[in-house]
Amino acid sequence: MTAPVPRKIVNDPVYGFITIDHPLVFRVISHPYYQRLRRIQQMAFAQLVYPGAVHTRLHHSLGAYHLMCNALNELRSKGAEITAEEDTAVKIAILLHDIGHGPYSHALEQTLIEGVHHESISLLIMQKLNQQFDGALDLAICIFTGKYHKPFLHQLISGQLDVDRMDYLTRDSFFTGVSEGVIGYDRILKMLTVHDGELMVEEKAIYSIEKFLVARRLMYWQVYLHKTVLCAEKMLVTIIRRARHLIRSGEIVTAPSRVLNYFLQQQEPVDIAQHLDKFCQLDDYDVMGAIKDWTGHPDKVLAALCRMLVDRQLLKVKLQAEPVSEEIISAQRRALAEQAGIGVEDAACLVFSGEASNTTYDPYEERINILFKDGTVKDISQVDNALIQHNLSRPVKKYYFCYLNPAAAPALLQGRTC
Amino acid sequence: MTAPVPRKIVNDPVYGFITIDHPLVFRVISHPYYQRLRRIQQMAFAQLVYPGAVHTRLHHSLGAYHLMCNALNELRSKGAEITAEEDTAVKIAILLHDIGHGPYSHALEQTLIEGVHHESISLLIMQKLNQQFDGALDLAICIFTGKYHKPFLHQLISGQLDVDRMDYLTRDSFFTGVSEGVIGYDRILKMLTVHDGELMVEEKAIYSIEKFLVARRLMYWQVYLHKTVLCAEKMLVTIIRRARHLIRSGEIVTAPSRVLNYFLQQQEPVDIAQHLDKFCQLDDYDVMGAIKDWTGHPDKVLAALCRMLVDRQLLKVKLQAEPVSEEIISAQRRALAEQAGIGVEDAACLVFSGEASNTTYDPYEERINILFKDGTVKDISQVDNALIQHNLSRPVKKYYFCYLNPAAAPALLQGRTC
Amino acid sequence: MTAPVPRKIVNDPVYGFITIDHPLVFRVISHPYYQRLRRIQQMAFAQLVYPGAVHTRLHHSLGAYHLMCNALNELRSKGAEITAEEDTAVKIAILLHDIGHGPYSHALEQTLIEGVHHESISLLIMQKLNQQFDGALDLAICIFTGKYHKPFLHQLISGQLDVDRMDYLTRDSFFTGVSEGVIGYDRILKMLTVHDGELMVEEKAIYSIEKFLVARRLMYWQVYLHKTVLCAEKMLVTIIRRARHLIRSGEIVTAPSRVLNYFLQQQEPVDIAQHLDKFCQLDDYDVMGAIKDWTGHPDKVLAALCRMLVDRQLLKVKLQAEPVSEEIISAQRRALAEQAGIGVEDAACLVFSGEASNTTYDPYEERINILFKDGTVKDISQVDNALIQHNLSRPVKKYYFCYLNPAAAPALLQGRTC
Amino acid sequence: MTAPVPRKIVNDPVYGFITIDHPLVFRVISHPYYQRLRRIQQMAFAQLVYPGAVHTRLHHSLGAYHLMCNALNELRSKGAEITAEEDTAVKIAILLHDIGHGPYSHALEQTLIEGVHHESISLLIMQKLNQQFDGALDLAICIFTGKYHKPFLHQLISGQLDVDRMDYLTRDSFFTGVSEGVIGYDRILKMLTVHDGELMVEEKAIYSIEKFLVARRLMYWQVYLHKTVLCAEKMLVTIIRRARHLIRSGEIVTAPSRVLNYFLQQQEPVDIAQHLDKFCQLDDYDVMGAIKDWTGHPDKVLAALCRMLVDRQLLKVKLQAEPVSEEIISAQRRALAEQAGIGVEDAACLVFSGEASNTTYDPYEERINILFKDGTVKDISQVDNALIQHNLSRPVKKYYFCYLNPAAAPALLQGRTC
């Protein structure tokens, strides 16, 4: 026997086993920046409705890495040229694609670090790791930023059929128990191909792709934008904004976590690149720790929101096809203000509305190319008898309306939750 | 402890356990007519492509019965009035809904018993059993034939959301391994409700229903109408027609099975009601036994078709959006006839074309009613942002073209298959 | 892109996808001898108790082939040297390991072809195929017969941890729905290793191996030797023996299938090597066709047994720890003979007893070697705190007693089953 | 239709759907004490090895409640008398059986609240809830404490075959992906019966019970007592002890969470009954928040342990059959102390040993009674050919040895982790 390659096998309830067999991949996974993702839940407050949905960003990244390994094997077996360096680089890029997520991922994105998208932070962190690793991530970064001359490698990370989406739909559907969200990821992977340097799927995958888009549509409306989940996540955003508003108004609101406190106390949006080290210490525990602490805060509104979130006694919520009129919102706020003895502006933290939207498939922005046996290429919305048609290309908007029942307000604002 | 109710538990890989706990249901299941369904495969020759798809009609019927038990429990828990008699009757009706299927189910339907649909035979058999059981099936038959005054009971057996469909999609998807065909049957069952005596689903089931229709569409094109499956099943039909043609032309073609032989030797379509006893002895074994026997028949065409089916060396097949022109078919037949030294008419058994069609959802024929919280009822194609729209209501037609490669013909018609 | 390798993907509900990517493997699978396995059920009459257990020998062989592909990849990644020729040869050997099974596999083994074990026939068929394939199976046969100088290759096909067992336990457990039979086949595969040319498992697999042996024990007593399954299979054996007895006594018993008839009519056990062609035409359909035909046979005993099996109205059966005394058996036979008006010898076909046995693990015959990190090797029964100990090495025997209720006999022997 | 019963359906990836349909059960689940269990992971640091194992105590309690619903239905269908009040009471008792768990469940049990077992706290909390609910939990508490005159109801909550064990084995095996831990919970439930007021299983469940015990054994050694998991959990205990030691020595160690701080600062073990309110505010977030905070603590040892746990750069660990000698431990401590410039006593926080043990089945303490068809009752270890025998009744002990590599110590104790 020749010398065995060192490798590690990780149990995954979704895929069975995930194999790690490259030293650089080991180093990335072992790094504290990556391990931090253990403490960021993938689906924020979806667990308030789907109690199983407590899986982490680390788990999702590992899963996407596993699908990437499979996708690369498939493409190679069909003749796509992928060098050993490219292989490792694209695997590292997918492992790190979500490294820039902060506490509660999308739910607090652009709120905690005002106006900054997680992908920008992912890139900053990758660059920082690259310094520590003496340039070993150069190619991974080049592929991640879409500058590499083989576009299909980038498309595997970020595109209509990327392994990121395939993993999160599969994994979220698995952990929520919403079996209808199941996609045939393994079949789609088997049908991937490269044509003119671009990622495509073979003709016989058409129905699987349709199924994939319909499953995504279902997951959006049934899970990600479930009205209770939406409500809890908007309450979370309101809590952070309320805290920051109070601070900027000169009141004392302290988060028990030093790093979280740092970000909250700034009067202006911070330059994240200057504070990357601090950002990399933040996770769900800092935010939930603050929320638990603030359940006793003197500001009645902040305390009430925190207690409601901790005890899962949420605002009432409606989700509807039409926007909520300003009159209704104002009237409800005034009623609450009066009943609870708070200002109308304060009441706006307990009565608010907004828009949720989702597009099933937009052929203008994002193409899923089908490669036919005769060599022609068509978008999935252009094939014969397409299920996915123009009517699905416009975003569907729904409007949420969250409000505190005025009758329940006094007790709640006094600090009793049951 | 009071006296326990006798009951039997059957292991089912799809649902876990199926419970049988009523004496009349026991009697029906134990009857030889029902046991015959063990010998009729649910999916005919789909197993030539999906080797796991060898489950039986008996298994499907038991599965549909299990879903019926669950559906009735759900509806009852929502306040629907279902008497103990109705409960047993509708369970027996679903157990027997497919009892009229003959060998290879749909593949030979209206071929072996010319022009007769399996549902008519199911009814005849139910009536015959009813005599043996002294009228115990009166109510089951009344519900089965749609004459009962509670339409939702019939709709559970036969309708857009019946448990028959739910079981076959779930089961066929399970045994083929085509996981994309999975429907959230358990969720749909939980959302069933009765309104104005009709079966409906609650508003929050909309996405599950869409998913159900898309899964069905996928199963049709990917499995039931898979071109290789289609080809094998058309070859089976051709074999029976060829045998009958030879017999009616005065040649000797004998099936080793006495009952099958009886049906084949008739010069005219038989009156099935007169020969129900014989029909109830027929199953896949009779037909496959004949096919195996005829691999050595003097008629070269019949023998070749039989050998090809037994050895899974099928005709070539194309599936396309446009009909195959008569010229192409004729030319191919003539080429084959010449090459193989057979008549053009004989060649028509080895070169043929036809049409396969499927409708994703036809709101005119079949309504899926959504009951909204405010009491309004809308068809699934009429809800906001519907995925299922008019464009999906027309049948999609595809055209198959099966043919023997002329170059391969001589050897095949000489009796060598490899 | 370089030229893609031709390959075929088969859906398998158990493993997802099975990939076939070698021309010789294609040829073997396409051969009529291999396709015949589609018509032999893996578990004979287990389906009378577990209705899902209708999967075929072909499906099992494909599954074992799939596990072999995985096992070879694992071993190679750990440094085992396996040449491309060995790789293909061992895959073909596992594909063909069960090719010698006849109708109803184990249930009729050594009964239909008297005294011959299926493995001997597998070897004969492999040799015959090897002639057709001009020696391409030389190495496969050498490995199959255990003569190759790398014993681990043979052990993968036939040994305590072979992929045959792993597949049949996994597959049978899947299709019966007896989830307790599930083994962690994927984990065991990941733990396989080669040491001194022998197949072993790594230390950390100990609990998985224990689980594997316990699952096997459970499957034997709960499924394979389930008393109803046992009874049906013994009735099948009795039918064939009765038919042969009648024939050898000069009575006319004809099977509708020509090849089955050939084997039945011989006065002496046949030399199977001389009639391999005929054997390769036999499958379940021939035997069940005969049984259906004989339900109308003038010999009352033969006809009754056949009707009972067809209609699943089986003999009563007891399974017990002690042998059934000759007195009880004789008394029961005499009672039946008298009641039914048949001879005592005839009654022996309807009242009989025998022994079923199973050994959980016999360390003398079959070793499962554990390779410890320090290089030592121990048998699984020798590790610390072993679950699997000497007490489990003796075969457990149970005794079945099948009998016809004398009260039910007259009607049954008159030809009425319900 | 009569008025529908209000009910709520919760998606569970393990069981599909969990139904809640009783107002009192709703009230319990909605209570902040119950909702707190969302923030306590079921398996503490098992997720460092099995990344999917992040499910919560709330999820486990809901799952056990679901199995209880099924078990009660089964027993009732077999004639066991269970009143509506008993039904609700036993469901509430199982929902609350783990309500007394604190942060990181078993890992910190008796450490954070010194010397107090979680079941005692569960009872205190149930009594407190009972006051709030005006005595509605009287019967639940009576059953929970084993004082009710129908012992089988208590045995369903706490006994060898309780639904607690069935759920945690099933759920932990599901979320870790260790499929070998799967037990046939549904089959065992179907085999439960009541005899002389005691919970038993029917004879045909013997193999399932054996499988259940073997699966539990496997889960213990492979998961719960996995050496890396063990190491991380012992580090957690050491951190809390170190913090308390420092505090009791007069140094300042403050937890950012007020309630956690309260418990840490006490000089003596607290009377938990007096501080139940504070206890009910504690969860994983308080402890992890403190650990993150202490990564910067001036005490080098505390800080190092916290950083190592946060970054998953754990102590090295060995698990062996023999105790680790005091000499080896002392030598290693001295070496570390010298290398790192800390005291030998401090080094004891970074070099320590202990014992882990597990008993597969102890028939003296815990009986699993098998009810045979003839009415006799035998313990599972007394049946014929038992797998589970006396040799498995002694606890198996293993000894762990956790230590910091002296070479790595200086950097770590300086505050750098990579």
Look at A233-242, B175-184, B227-236 and tell me which has the smallest mean pLDDT. B175-184
Q: What is the rounded CA–CA span in Å between residue A230 and residue A400? A: 8
Give me the count of residues in chain B: 418
Exposed, middle or buried by CB within 10 Å (0-12, 13-18, 19+), for B309?
Answer: buried
Q: Given this model, what pLDDT does residue C412 score?
A: 79
Pairing of strands A396-403, A351-358: antiparallel
Q: pLDDT (tens digit, 9 = 90+) per residue, C198-232?
A: 999 999 888 888 888 888 888 998 999 999 999 99
* pLDDT, tens only, D70-95: 999 999 999 999 999 999 999 999 99
Give me the pLDDT at residue B392, please: 67
Same domain, B221 and B241: no
CB-CB neighbors (< 8 A) of C217 in chain D = 207, 210, 387
Question: Domain for residue A376, yes or no?
Answer: no
Higher per-residue pLDDT: C389 or C13: C13
Which burial class, exposed, middle or buried, applies to A271 when counting CB atoms under 10 A from its CB (0-12, 13-18, 19+)?
exposed
Residue at B394 is within a domain = no
- From A185, A220, A255, the end of a domain falls on A220
Distance from C-alpha of A392 to C-alpha of B404, rounded to nearest angstrom:
43
Q: Which chains touch D (3 or more CB pairs under 8 A)?
A: A, B, C
Within an 8 Å CB–CB cutoff, is residue C286 touching chain B?
A: yes
Tokens of B170: 């779930």
Query: B265 and B123, same structural domain?
Result: no
Exposed/middle/buried for residue C22 (C-beta within 10 Å: 0-12, 13-18, 19+): middle
Summarize pLDDT for A218-236 with one digit per residue, the tens.
899 899 999 999 999 999 9
Max Cα separation, chain D?
A: 81
Closest partner residue to C177 (CB to CB) among B11, B257, B292 is B11
* Residues D135 and D210 occupy one common structural domain: yes
Same domain, A212 and A186: yes
| B386 vs C249, higher pLDDT | C249
What CA–CA distances, in Å, run from B49 to B174, B230, B402, C39, C59? 14, 10, 16, 14, 11
Reported as a pLDDT band with limits 50, 70 and 90, residue B7 is confident
Q: Which chains touch A (3 or more CB pairs under 8 A)?
A: B, C, D
- The structure tokens listed for D237 are 């205990």
E-assigned strand segments in B238-326 = 316-320
Residue A187 with chain C: CB contacts under 8 Å: 17
SS3 category, C215: helix
CATH of the domain at A407: 1.20.1250.30
Choose the final residue of a domain: A179, A202, A220. Answer: A220
Question: Tokens 């009648």 — which residue?
Answer: C246
Residue D1 within any structural domain of the chain: no
Residue C414 has pLDDT above 60, yes or no: yes
Closest CA to C93 of C67, C123, C55: C123
Q: Torsion over CA of C84, C85, C86 and C88, rounded to 10 degrees?
A: 90
Residue D3 domain-assigned (yes or no): no
**Which of D406 and A247 is assigned the larger pLDDT?**
A247
Measured distance CA(A76)–CA(A92) in Å, rounded: 18
Decide if pLDDT at C96 tops 90: yes
Nearest CA in chain C to D396: C385
Q: What is the predicted pLDDT for the residue at B411?
A: 80
Scanning B306-345 for CB atoms below 8 A from C yields 310-313
Give the distance from residue B257's alpha carbon to the nearest chain C alpha carbon, in angstroms: 7
pLDDT above 50 (res C243): yes
Of D377, D390, D370, residue with least CA distance to D161: D370
Q: Do C214 and D217 touch (CB under 8 A)?
A: no
The token pair that represents C76 in the structure block: 């190679």
Query: Which one of A208-217, B261-270, C31-40, C105-114 scores highest in mean pLDDT?
Result: C31-40
* C239 and C210 within one domain: no
B203 touches chain A (CB under 8 A): no
**CB-nearest partner of C285 from B10, B281, B288:** B288
- Give residue D391's pLDDT band: very low, low, confident or very high (50, 70, 90): low
The verdict on C210 and C238 lying in the same domain is: no
Could C182 and D187 be called an inter-chain contact, meaning their C-beta atoms sit closer than 8 Å?
Answer: no
B301, containing H or E segment: helix B300-310
Task: Check residue C5 and give its pLDDT.
Answer: 54
Chain-centroid distance of CA D189 in Å reads: 22
* Mean pLDDT for chain C overall: 92
Cβ of B180 within 8 Å of Cβ of A208? The answer is yes
Rounded mean pLDDT of D247-273? Answer: 95
The answer to whether residues D144 and D239 belong to one domain is no
pTM over 0.90: yes
Main-chain phi, psi angles of A99, to 5 degrees: -60, -20
- Check whether residue C27 and residue C166 sit in a common domain: yes
Q: What is residue A2's predicted lDDT score, i.e. its pLDDT?
A: 47
| A404, pLDDT greater than 70 | yes
What is the CATH number for A148? 1.10.3210.10
Short-list D48, D107, D309, D219, CA closest to A56: D48
Within 10 angstroms of residue B125's Cβ, the number of other Cβ atoms is 20
The tokens describing A212, both together, are: 């994939």
A198/A148 same-domain check? yes
Model confidence at C183, in pLDDT bands (50, 70, 90)? confident
pLDDT of B391 reads: 62
pLDDT value, residue D365: 67
pLDDT value, residue C396: 83
The dihedral formed by the CA atoms of C50, C54, C56 and C57, expressed in degrees to the nearest 10: 30
Rg (CA), chain B: 23
Choose between B394 and A10: higher pLDDT. Answer: A10
Q: Quote the mean pLDDT of chain D.
A: 92
Residues A386 and A380: beta-carbon distance below 8 Å: yes
Give the tens place of pLDDT for each residue, A34-53. 999 999 999 999 999 999 99
Sign of CA pseudo-dihedral A212, A215, A216, A217: positive
Same domain, C194 and C112: yes
DSSP B10-72: EEETTTEEEEE--HHHHHHHHSHHHHGGGGSBTTGGGGGTSTT---BHHHHHHHHHHHHHHHH
Domain end: B202, B225, B248, which one? Answer: B225
Instruction: Decide if D374 touches C, using CB distance below 8 A.
Output: no
Is A34 found in the same domain as A150?
yes
Q: What Å distances lie between residue A154 and A81, A139, A163, D355, CA to CA?
A: 15, 11, 11, 50
Strands C316-320 and C396-403: antiparallel
pLDDT at D2: 47
Amino acid at C292: K
CA distance B137 to chain D (A): 26
> CA-CA distances (angstroms) from residue C215 to C155, C307, C360, D191?
20, 35, 10, 19
Element (H, E) at A104: none
Query: At a CB cut-off of 8 Å and minimum separation 6, what does A399 contact?
Result: A319, A320, A321, A322, A323, A324, A353, A354, A355, A356
What's the whole-number average pLDDT of chain A?
92
How many other CB atoms are there within 10 angstroms of residue D50's CB atom? 25
Tokens 């060598």 -> residue:
B416
Q: Which three-class secondary structure state does DSSP give residue C351? A: strand
Please give the pLDDT value at position D1.
44
In total, chain C counts a number of residues equal to 418
| Structural domain of A329 | 227-357+399-414
Q: Check pLDDT > 70 for residue A213.
A: yes
| pLDDT score at A5 | 54
pLDDT at position A363 over 90: no
A365 close to C (CB below 8 A): no
Dist CA B273 CA D233 (whole Å): 75
Residue B314's φ and ψ, nearest 5 degrees, are -80, 170
Asked, for residue A378, whether it belongs to a domain, the answer is no
Report the range of poorest mean pLDDT among A40-44, B139-143, D359-363: D359-363
Q: Quick one: average pLDDT of B193-198?
A: 96
Q: How many Å apart are CA A147 and CA A139, to the nearest integer?
A: 10
pLDDT digits (tens, 9 = 90+) for D24-39: 999 999 999 999 999 9
Q: Lowest mean pLDDT: which of A79-88, B204-213, B259-268?
A: B204-213
pLDDT single digits (tens) C249-292 = 999 999 999 999 999 999 988 999 999 999 999 999 999 999 99
Residue A389 falls inside a structural domain: no
Measure in Å the smallest separation between the Cα of D296 and chain C Cα atoms.
Answer: 38
Q: Give me the pLDDT at residue C390, please.
A: 57
For chain A, percent of residues with pLDDT exceeding 70: 95
Rounded CA-CA distance D297/D284 in Å is 20
D336: in domain: yes
Q: Is C87 exposed, middle or buried (0-12, 13-18, 19+ CB in 10 A)?
A: middle
CB of C190 within 8 Å of any CB in chain A?
A: yes
* Nearest CA-CA partner of D318 in D417, D239, D230: D230
Q: CB-based contact (8 Å) between C79 and chain A?
A: yes
Cα dihedral: C100, C106, C107, C111 (round 10): 60
Q: Which of C9, C190, C194 sits opposite A190 (nearest CB)?
A: C9
> Residue D370 domain-assigned?
no
pLDDT at A59 over 90: yes
Q: Tell me the torsion sign for CA atoms D36, D42, D46, D48.
A: negative
User: Count of domains in chain B?
Assistant: 2
Together in a domain, C209 and C269? no
Q: What does the alpha-carbon distance between residue B135 and residue A246 come to, in Å, rounded to a whole number? A: 79
Cβ of residue D180 closer than 8 Å to a chain C Cβ: yes
**Does residue B359 register a pLDDT over 80?**
no
Burial of C134: CB neighbours in 10 Å, binned 0-12, 13-18, 19+: exposed
Q: Tell which wins on pLDDT, D392 or D73.
A: D73
